[in-house]
Structure 1
Amino acid sequence: MPETVRFRREGWKPVASHREDRGIVKVVWLQGTPYEMGFQHGTLLRNEIDSLPRTTLDAVSFLGRHLGLASFAKKRCFNDVIEECEGLVAGAKGTGMTMSAALVFAFGDVFQEYFANTLPRIFNDGAGFPQGVLSDVACSQFIAAGKATKDGRLYHGRSLDNNGKPNEYWLKHPTVFVRQPNDGIPHVFIAVPGVVWPNSGMNAAGITIGLNTAHPKNITKLATTGRSHVQMMAHILRKANSYEEAKAFMQSQRRMAADLILIADGVSRKAGVFELIARSMGIREMGANGVLYMANHFVSPEMQGEDRDPPSRSSVIRHERFKQLLEPGSPHSRHGKIDPAIMIQILRDRINPFTLNESPSTIYDDNASIATNGVVRQEVFDSQRLLFWIATGEVPIPKNPFVGFSLGEMLNLPNAIPCQPLVYQ
């Protein structure tokens, strides 16, 4: 079977903008300038954007327009993001998606940290309100490559989690955006209609990326100038031809909030976890054993004391279970045997590493295992071959099939590799 190589634009023609639904997954092809891709997004997914609760859109527009959040975001957004928001608003005209709302959503990761996590915790801790209102953070990712896998390839697994009550909009509208910018590398965002950034994604050069939430130790660890992490991820997918290029970009940017971002390169088989806070960054790179993993707390020595202490019980549990399943020497280890099927088994794992009790398969969120942490979507990437599989649908997500996609085929690349198997049950 032919191997993929770094993307070459010469002789390649973008696929015309259109939409295909594959079960519950919406797949939209976008092509052109940022404005054109935004307009196509708004047009092709107009009905889904229109299904956003009007109270939500009105509230976000109000905050953006009257409290200055849209202006705050616009001053800190990449120019191409602003242009794409303008196209999105034009394409989705009549849905309630205003420019103010689009900009607030485009900077949503920063605003979520400010207004949904750090500030509420201050009021919760200091104003006499009952404790335990805020949910634990969520999301899990891991890499296996080299000695850890059957064939030496690099595989990237990702679980997008939403603790507490499932987000119905995210469950109903999983979307694969096949993005073909005039000035960059074609790539996929995996997200939802109405946002111009990825939760995770892959580009045609073999780079994959995903974000896990983290929280700062206190408000002094945040900043008011810098970039949105999800917008930085979008830039990497559009521009980075290698892990080293992605790493250099990450090191060049000022930041505002706290997160963990995993970046992997299926061609060079390099990967790193970037532990981020406004003024500090730690990088954990994959070593000779070929495994790397992260939950929602910082592990690198240089980032100790920068995030919330103690870490959530859920984050510690998932991190420890990854250690048991991925590192060599553990009686639970899958090291040396990992392929896409084993990656999926790990994402479906319901074992508490400390008690070795197994959560029931019907559980959505008990904070006790990788698979029972409020999962709303799971993915496995084989980025050397430009393949990926997604589990979506009704909760609990880990029980659902993983449906395959070939980015090479979706882009009509020469020597594109078909996705086999197309479905993992």
Structure 2
Amino acid sequence: MSKTMIMRKLLLYLLSIVLVLLVAFAVFSYFYLRPDIPSEKAYITEVKGGVSYFGQGHLEYREGIPFLYVKGDPHEIGLQYGVLLKDEMKSFYGRMDSLENAMMGKVYEESPWHKDVIIKISTPFVIKKKLKSFRKRLPEGYLEQLKGMSEGSGVPLSDILIVTFGPDWLSCSSFVKIAGDRVIHGRNADHDVIDFFSRYPLIAHYDKDGKYSYIDIGIIGTPWAVTGINEHGLTLSWSQATTSRSKPFDGNGTTLMFNRILEECRNLRDVDETPKNVDRFVTMIGSVEDRTGAAYDIVDQKAVRTDLRGGYIYATNRCVSQSMRKEYNSVFDMDWFNSARAYTYEKTLSRTGEFTIDDAIRLLSNTDFYDYKGKVPPYAGGNINNRGTGSSVVCDPQNSTVYFAYGAPYAAFSRWIAYNYEADEVSIYKDEDERLNDPEIIEYIELEKRWKDVDWNNNEELQQMAHEIENESEENFWTLHNSCWAWNALGNPEKAEAIINRQIEKYPELLTGYTNMGFLCMDQGKHGEAIEYYEKALDAPITNDRKKLYCYEQLADAYAEIGDEAKSKYYYLKVLDYYKRYWIPKQSREQVNRIEELLKDKY
């Protein structure tokens, strides 16, 4: 037999093996990954006067918002939810692909093509494995509730479990303020997938057998409470606590723990005693019975309570407790997004005098960047009402009323609805802010979206975006900051310098213009001029620890370049001091070790 024939037979043999393996893989995948779609049952609802009834539950739309009322044991509650919201749930879960793309798009974009293929093939198997552990980790009674939702709606239980264990896309801010004898609890929910969630508002009343009843101002299809208030006037909201240190969570709880707090707690003492099996969350509680409130930082199953100070407390996306910040936050968690919002909360809530519902709504609607204002928000990533805000809520438990707004983006500019749940009255409290329909703001929002997707390796695309930003009608912090970086990347430092000078002139109290100019000078080898600008940055009134650390690092390097070892050593010591004020992540530990070795060997 010729060598050619042998090679052909060998190739045919290998192709046959590959074909058999592919068929086997396809069959295995079909049975292993087959969704647990419940059998379709013909549940009959009764409709009277525009209200749909099933079992002890009912659903009605009021001012275009679905109001759901469910009552019974866990399975009955879930079944009523699924049957009454069947169409809405199928619409929500029918968009799961767009949700996954929004969450995984960056991973796919940044992965080489071969890793991209591996990720896409392996993801369903990883999810399937995790779903098995999810079932075991559900608190008692909740699996039956989720099964009821699945049976009633026809949505696979696996999809509901994924949403139950995956609220990491919520990054919010909230506050509790004591106003006279009233507890006012406000919250903005910011979503990474804002367009997805803001389309599915839901006001849900839960009356579970043997538990306290509560209302969730939340999202259709999501079993966990987003913002809640129970029959004893206990209010709850939660947000991510951005931490660098937290280990992958391996506990047995989920964000359904927040439902449990509403179902089982009437005061802060009850909350203290409730197991908190979640990870990397700040839970804000208001208590009518205690006439106060508190924030709970929950990281690595460790919970630390911080009480109101001066009659108020607030949370952005970082730990509230100073001890927890020291233990779990790095200096890099102290960015504009957190520090600017914290500034506005502190400034507003610390004022003495009357604090009303209108004041609370104005606070949640605030788009200032520190004290800088503008028709267009000066910096979309550093204001309380921002491009990611999908819903806003104010709870007024003493008056049995919640106020809420849904929309995307800048939800607090949307129409506000007042709901008195004791009198069961719904009314428009505040009309939509006219800014949402302003062509300049609409164009600005679209420009922000396009900027997020710009390819910095594509000069033509980057230059086009730089021109678009430059032609934006209102020049503000965001447009100036991004256009200077774009023109510098395009090899036009002269234009970048002119833009930075306008940034310094317009925002003299912000350190950013000075650090931008310092970077430009360092990039051109002008170390003396760079030092002047970085020292001006340190004198700027508006700053944060992350930015100060950057200035100290640049000054240490700049003084080393011009041979001033004493000044260089001084700033290297400042760098170490700022790192050690917080937890030091692995990637920063290498920098700290390098500086310590440098100081030991050279100075």
TM-score, normalised to structure 1, is 0.77
Deviations 1:296-333 (A, max 9, x none): 11131320231354223211111111111111xxxxx3
Q: Distance in 2 between matches of 1:224 and 1:298?
A: 20
2:266 alignment counterpart: 241
Give the total of aligned pairs. Answer: 353
1:193 pairs with 2:183: no
2:48 alignment counterpart: none
1:158 pairs with 2:191: no
Deviations 1:8-59 (A, max 9, x none): xxxxxxx941111122321111111111111111111111111135462699
The amino acid of 1:389's aligned partner reads Y
1:222 alignment counterpart: 248
Which of 400, 404, 418 is 1:404 aligned to? 418
The two structures, once aligned, show a CA RMSD in angstroms of 2.5
What pairs with 1:29-178 in structure 2 (closer than 5 Å)? 29-52=69-92, 54=94, 56=96, 63=124, 67-93=128-154, 97-109=155-167, 112=168, 138-145=171-178, 149=179, 151-163=180-192, 167-178=194-205
Deviation at 1:87, TM superposition (A): 0.1
Identical aligned residues as a percent? 18
What pairs with 1:283-294 in structure 2 (closer than 5 Å)? 283-287=305-309, 289-294=310-315
- CA 1:239 to 1:57, structure 2 compared with 1: closer, same or farther past 3 Å? farther
2:482 alignment counterpart: none
The amino acid of 1:142's aligned partner reads F
Q: Distance in 2 between matches of 1:200 and 1:366?
A: 24
The amino acid of 1:141's aligned partner reads S
- CA 1:58 to 1:388, structure 2 compared with 1: closer, same or farther past 3 Å? closer
1:277 pairs with 2:299: yes
Q: Distance in 1 between matches of 2:96 and 2:257?
A: 25
The amino acid of 1:233's aligned partner reads F
The amino acid of 2:166's aligned partner reads G
Using CA pairs under 8 Å that are at least 6 residues apart, name the structure with larger relative contact order, 1 or 2: 1
Which of 315, 324, 330 is 2:338 aligned to? 315
Deviation at 1:236, TM superposition (A): 1.0
2:372 alignment counterpart: 357
Question: Which blocks of at least 5 consecutive residues in structure 2 are unaligned?
Answer: 1-54, 101-122, 432-603
Which of 401, 404, 425 is 1:390 aligned to? 404
SS in 2 for 1:195: coil
- CA 1:59 to 1:28, structure 2 compared with 1: closer, same or farther past 3 Å? closer
Deviation at 1:278, TM superposition (A): 1.1
When Rg is computed on C-alpha atoms for both structures, the one with the higher figure is: 2
The amino acid of 2:182's aligned partner reads R
SS in 2 for 1:404: strand
1:205 alignment counterpart: 232
1:134 alignment counterpart: none
Q: Distance in 1 between matches of 2:125 and 2:87?
A: 23
TM-score, normalised to structure 2, is 0.55
Which of 379, 390, 409 is 1:376 aligned to? 390
- CA 1:53 to 1:280, structure 2 compared with 1: closer, same or farther past 3 Å? closer
Deviations 1:220-255 (A, max 9, x none): x33312311x21110011111222212221xx3444
Q: Distance in 2 between matches of 1:422 and 1:52?
A: 26
- CA 1:274 to 1:105, structure 2 compared with 1: closer, same or farther past 3 Å? same
1:10 alignment counterpart: none
SS in 1 for 2:398: coil
